[in-house]
């Protein structure tokens, strides 16, 4: 009389299906994550009711201390136009996102917008959603 099991389980566990699931979850979370990288500059942006997300190609920052930054690299004002022109040469869509502190006087905002217009850039002003 044979009382042993006829179908013995295989002691080797196949991990390929589990690694496939982990890979799919990784891809899912990467694709659904937020693609906009927050700026490391301490800029208090103004608020707006109508705001949309734009993928910044070139981010120009202006702090309340009137320090200019292009993609978080501090630039002196006298070299701003030249550095921005160099950055626009390598940008495919020539979009400039202006991140200007809300306490900065309007004349500096207009001056910065004028530089962008002179260089032929599409200009977007960054705001906090209301």
Low-confidence ranges of the chain (pLDDT < 70): 1-5, 34-56, 130
- With respect to CATH, is domain 47-129 assigned 3.30.420? yes
pLDDT score for 69: 92
| Helix axes 106-118 and 77-90, enclosed angle (nearest 10) | 40
C-beta separation of 40 from 121 below 8 A: no
Question: Which 8-state DSSP code applies to residue 71?
Answer: T
Q: Which of 4, 105, 21, 28 is nearest to 63 (CA)?
A: 105
pLDDT tens, position by position, 34-49: 655 555 656 666 666 6
Neighbours of 90 (CB within 10 A): 8
Helix or strand holding residue 124 (H, E): strand 122-125
């Amino acid at each position: 009389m044979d009382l042993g099991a006829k179908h013995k389980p295989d002691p080797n566990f196949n991990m390929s299906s589990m690694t496939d699931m982990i890979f799919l979850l990784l891809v899912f979370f990467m694709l659904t994550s937020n693609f906009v990288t927050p700026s490391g500059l301490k800029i208090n942006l103004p608020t707006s009711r109508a705001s949309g997300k734009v993928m910044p190609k070139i981010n120009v920052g202006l702090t309340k201390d009137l320090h200019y930054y292009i993609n978080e690299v501090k630039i002196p004002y006298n070299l701003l136009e030249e550095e921005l022109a160099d950055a626009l040469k390598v940008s495919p869509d020539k979009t400039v996102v202006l991140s200007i502190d809300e306490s900065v006087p309007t004349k500096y905002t207009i001056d910065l917008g004028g530089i962008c217009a002179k260089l032929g850039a599409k200009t977007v002003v960054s705001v906090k959603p209301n």
